[in-house]
Amino acid sequence: MTQITTVGIDLAKNLFTVRGVDASGKTVLRKTVRREKLMELVAALPPCLIGMEACGGAHQWARRFQAQGHQVGIMMARFVAAYRKSAKNDGNDAEAICEAVGRPTMRFVPVKSAEQQAILSLHRVRQGYVEERTATINRIRGLLVEFGVVRPQRADQVRRAAVVAAETLPLLAREAIAELRRHLSELDCIRHDLAAVARRRWRVSSRRRTTVALALTLGTNRRHQFAPWNRRDCDPHHGNLSPFRLCKPKPRAQRFPMRPCVACRRSRRLPMQ
């Protein structure tokens, strides 16, 4: 059997269409497999280039394929459409993916890790709550307009108008607006909580990236020369200092006199400005 060099997979929920070609571009693999059989098929292939469209589950499949030793390329669907030769169906889509992934000028989507997808899902959930909050505010404005109360499209003014106008509205209208106001308050709390979680996660990832960058730049035997200014190194009233500012002592032959640190007022050997 001719060795397969490039594979195109049309992702789906249950049935996956697979097309494979050899080094000369001849199609040597045409299969449609179910979800539970896809990994078995890919594991039996020699290390090759696998192409997929960027869609739901593409990054998870890409990580699993890479673990089997394959090279994976994820492409946007609009870039693949130009290589479809006839009507849109699963087979033609898989052939177009197989053709597009081998193009030298193709632009690929970086494969995301599970951690990156988790952060992205957090932002998507928060964005959904933001949209729902906007819809709730517009719903309150629409009800107030029915009773002659017109306010600008600002959340604080709509809240105040809802409280003031509730005294003159009929009972059922007051209850409806009060329920919308309670729902709006709940959305604000959820939105702020998710934002706080995202900020904490960003700080942790920033510190990790800084440590990795130092290790790659200096090597493992010189990391001790860069001492971060953390809260333990500074006075209590300097607790809000950024932990990423660095003090770099000069080599022994180039040392200069001790100078006070501007942040914590301690004597340190700091590089000349």
pLDDT digits (tens, 9 = 90+) for 9-47: 999 999 999 999 999 889 999 999 999 999 999 999 999
- Mean pLDDT, range 105-111, rounded to an integer: 93
Beta bridge mates, 75? 53
Backbone torsions φ then ψ of 52, nearest 5 degrees? -145, 160
DSSP string of 207-247? HHHHHHHHHHHH-TTSGGG-EE--TTTS-GGGTTS-TT-EE
Asked whether the predicted pLDDT for residue 244 surpasses 50, the reply is no
pTM of the full structure: 0.65
Convert the pLDDT of each residue in 203-233 to its tens digit.
666 555 555 444 544 444 444 444 443 434 4
Asked if 41 contacts 72 with a C-beta cutoff of 8 angstroms, the reply is no
Q: Which candidate, 134, 147, 155, 138, places its Cα nearest to that of 174?
A: 147
How crowded is the C-beta side of 67, counted as CA atoms within 13 Å? Answer: 8
**CB hemisphere CA count around 144 (13 angstroms):** 26
Q: Quote the pLDDT of residue 259.
A: 52
pLDDT band at residue 149 using 50, 70 and 90 as cut-offs: confident
Cα distance between residue 93 and residue 78, in whole Å = 12
What pLDDT shows up at residue 245? 40
Alpha helices in the chain (DSSP H): 35-43, 58-67, 77-80, 90-100, 114-146, 155-165, 171-218
> How is the chain split into domains, by residue range?
6-100, 114-215, 226-268
Cα 224 to Cα 143: distance, rounded to the nearest angstrom: 64
Q: Which residues have CB under 8 Å from 242's CB, separation 6+?
A: 229
Between the alpha carbon of residue 60 and those of residues 39, 79, 115, 210, the distances in Å are 12, 21, 11, 27
pLDDT band with cut points at 50, 70 and 90 for residue 123:
confident
pLDDT at 54: 94
Residue 195 sits at the vertex; the CA angle it makes with 193 and 197, to the nearest 5 degrees, is: 70
The CB density around residue 202, as the number of other CB atoms within 10 Å, is 11
pLDDT at position 97, please? 95
Mean pLDDT of the chain: 78
**Count of CA atoms in the C-beta half-sphere (13 A) of 66:** 14
Read off the pLDDT band of 158 (50, 70, 90). confident
What's the pLDDT tens digit per position in 40-96? 999 999 999 999 999 989 999 999 999 999 999 999 999 999 999 888 899 999 999
Which helix (DSSP H) or strand (DSSP E) does residue 8 occupy?
strand 6-10
The reported pLDDT for the residue numbered 271 is: 44
Q: Which CATH class is domain 6-100?
A: alpha beta
| DSSP β-bridge partners for residue 100 | none
Q: In which band, very low, low, confident or very high, does the pLDDT at 109 lie, cut at 50, 70 and 90?
A: very high
